[in-house]
């Protein structure tokens, strides 16, 4: 027979456990979330092109892991209607992983966000625009002023590695980086505008001449033999970085669409991304 004292003891144990479950767990969750150094929201579409879809999936996993280690909160969404003033107010950095907003309200909200001091990082296809195409150049502020690149001009094929030249060795985005490094395989873009002539654009990385010939074709114009090709730059009037990586090599020829490369396989390339992201989110680069 259980005594009164034993019953009371068991009751107190159960009560303590319930109090911990009810009050303790939320406290632990709060303790974890309140220490984020900054918050990042990545927008993506991830439709049609298997290479862009592959990059989006890989990027979401990679940024989430980096966020856990470096104490920034990483969220992602394919709902572009979230590109509004109220939603963006929660985040210090916006990332475009593959495409760009199409509606007027989304574009206005994004421009206001940047003009009020918000930060942005864009990859590969987020800068693409070509008239006529499914992505016409119908947003002058974004392509001509903000990015400065204008329309897409051409690209290399297949996705291949390239040697990238670091043009600003003392920039926060290039902290602790060598003057030259090997980038992950990518489809490299060229642009109609000469970014060197834009006083607001600072080119940080470009294709080094040791990369030529760059691309394997089969079309001759898909292989670059010479030229000046910026691949990462910032606009001095905004808190932003554009980086032309984000197209994994895929098994198109074999018909499996299997991913054959990783956009995060280069240690120095990853360092550049994290230096840039931490500066955009905190005002300082990684140590």
pTM above 0.85, yes or no: yes
Contacts of 189 (CB under 8 A, 6+ apart): 124, 127, 128, 152, 153, 154, 155, 231, 244
pLDDT band at 285 (very low <50, low <70, confident <90, very high): low
Spatial distance between the Cα atoms of 66 and 93, rounded to a whole number of angstroms: 15
Given this structure, which CATH class describes domain 38-282? alpha beta
Rg (CA), the chain: 23
Q: Where are the domains of the chain?
A: 1-35, 38-282
- Residue 48 is predicted with a pLDDT of 86
pLDDT in tens, 108-164: 999 999 999 999 999 999 999 999 999 999 999 999 999 999 999 999 999 999 999
Q: Is the pLDDT of residue 30 over 50?
A: no
pLDDT in tens, 154-212: 999 999 999 999 999 999 999 999 999 999 999 999 999 999 999 999 999 999 999 99
pLDDT in tens, 43-71: 999 998 999 999 999 999 999 999 999 99
Percent of the chain with pLDDT over 90: 84
Q: What tokens were used for 122?
A: 């864009």
């Amino acid at each position: 027979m259980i005594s009164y004292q034993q019953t009371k003891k068991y009751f107190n144990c159960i009560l303590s456990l319930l109090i911990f479950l009810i009050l303790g767990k939320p406290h632990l969750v709060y303790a974890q979330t309140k220490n984020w150094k900054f918050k990042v929201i990545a927008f993506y579409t991830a439709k049609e092109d298997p290479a862009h879809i592959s990059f989006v999936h890989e990027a979401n996993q990679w940024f989430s892991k980096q966020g856990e280690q470096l104490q920034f909160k990483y969220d992602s969404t394919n709902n572009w209607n979230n590109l509004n003033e109220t939603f963006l107010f929660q985040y210090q950095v916006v990332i475009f992983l593959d495409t760009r907003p199409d509606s007027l309200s989304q574009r206005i909200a994004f421009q206001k966000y940047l003009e009020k001091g918000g930060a942005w990082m864009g990859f590969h296809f987020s800068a693409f625009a070509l008239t006529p195409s499914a992505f016409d150049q119908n947003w002058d502020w974004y392509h001509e002023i903000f990015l400065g690149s204008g329309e897409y001009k051409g690209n290399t094929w297949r996705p291949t590695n390239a040697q990238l030249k670091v043009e600003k060795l003392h920039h926060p985005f290039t902290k602790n980086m060598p003057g030259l490094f090997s980038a992950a395989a990518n489809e490299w873009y060229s642009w109609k505008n000469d970014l060197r002539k834009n006083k607001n654009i600072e080119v940080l990385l470009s294709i080094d001449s040791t990369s030529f010939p760059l691309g394997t074709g089969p079309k001759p114009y898909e292989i670059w033999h010479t030229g000046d090709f910026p691949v990462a730059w910032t606009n001095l009037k905004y808190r932003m970085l554009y980086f032309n990586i984000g197209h994994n090599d895929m098994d198109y020829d074999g018909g499996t669409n299997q991913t054959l490369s990783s956009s995060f396989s280069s240690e120095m390339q990853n360092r550049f991304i994290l230096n840039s992201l931490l500066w955009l989110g905190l005002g300082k680069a990684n140590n």
